[in-house]
Amino acid sequence: MLTVIGEGLVDVVQRTSGIEAHVGGSPLNVAVGLARLDHPVQFIGRYGRDAYGDSVAAHLKASSVMLPQGPDGLPTSVATALIDDDGAATYTFDLTWELPGLADRLLFMLQGTTLLHTGSIAAMLEPGARDVLAAVEHAHPSATISFDPNCRPSIITDVNYARRQTEKFVALADVVKASDEDLEWLYPGVDVLESARRWLSLGGAEGPAMVVVTRGAAGPWGVTAAGEAQYAAPAVEVADTVGAGDSFMAALLSGVVDRGLDGAQNRDDLRALPAEGLAELLGRAARAAAITVSRAGANPPTRAELNRGESDSAELTSN
């Protein structure tokens, strides 16, 4: 069982052509991405007893994501995304993040979990962030931990707080993914790859096995104790970038699971992943992100779509 804990919300997307509503939230998107890649996954988050909440639950269930928590009495969170002429999205938020009573149910909810993913608003915004940190600490002895800061400066405006909070989670994580924009905001004036290399040393022997940086058109780059790798971004016509990083994260974690590297008992093998193996993981994740940006909204690929894309890429290469 894979577990994702974090925010679920509705993206209200404003384009020149009109307004659309899509279910989103970075952790929720990762859960859907993992499920579409045929992994059993549960999503621990919150949503309200309202029309948007009904949409959140229906969206998750349509991708066979399990929901151990039902709706609560608060409004479902909303993110408004403004899409510019290049397809890039900027966000404003109206949200509530809390998980009352989670601590009492954690032991049951996380039973059998071999990988726990979290990040974004869920790791930053109180009062829920402290519950998320407690869940990570609870799962760490038995499960692979993955983390994506997916920084939202419009919500968490104090960069010093965001940096401290991010580093708490990085030190507990095995797999970390961040965008170049995340690292530039967290560590201004520092080369993003140097920041990623430094993260690899956080937590000492219990720190990350892998740190990956997404760099848009420049393609992803990653580092493990065994070496560094990068992958050229696939050429694609961009509809918008909503959910691209989350599709990348889901496919990256899918690759880790497919290789049998999830679970705390496999931490040493994950740390020993050579640069060639890292490059393969980056390539698969980059192709997943490319499929997502080619269509509107956070719409990650299925395993069949991703495999078909890999076959097409191989055919082009051989020709």
- Report the distance separating Cα 76 and Cα 252, nearest Å: 29
Cβ-count burial of 141 within 10 angstroms (0-12 exposed, 13-18 middle, 19+ buried)?
A: exposed
What is the tens place of the pLDDT at every residue in 256-309? 999 999 999 999 999 999 999 999 999 999 999 999 999 877 789 999 999 986
What is the tens place of the pLDDT at every residue in 11-52? 887 777 778 888 989 999 999 999 999 999 999 999 999 999
What does residue 314 show for φ and ψ, rounded to 5 degrees? Answer: -65, -40
What is the tens place of the pLDDT at every residue in 79-111? 887 877 777 777 788 888 998 778 788 888 999
| Domains of the chain by residue range | 2-304
What pLDDT does residue 311 have? Answer: 59
pTM over 0.75: yes
Which CATH code fits 2-304?
A: 3.40.1190.20
Show Cβ contacts of residue 4 under 8 Å, excluding neighbours closer than 6 positions: 27, 28, 30, 31, 34, 41, 42, 43, 44, 45, 116, 117, 118
What is the tens place of the pLDDT at every residue in 149-179? 999 998 999 999 999 999 999 999 999 999 9
What is the tens place of the pLDDT at every residue in 239-248? 877 789 999 9
What pLDDT does residue 317 have? Answer: 34
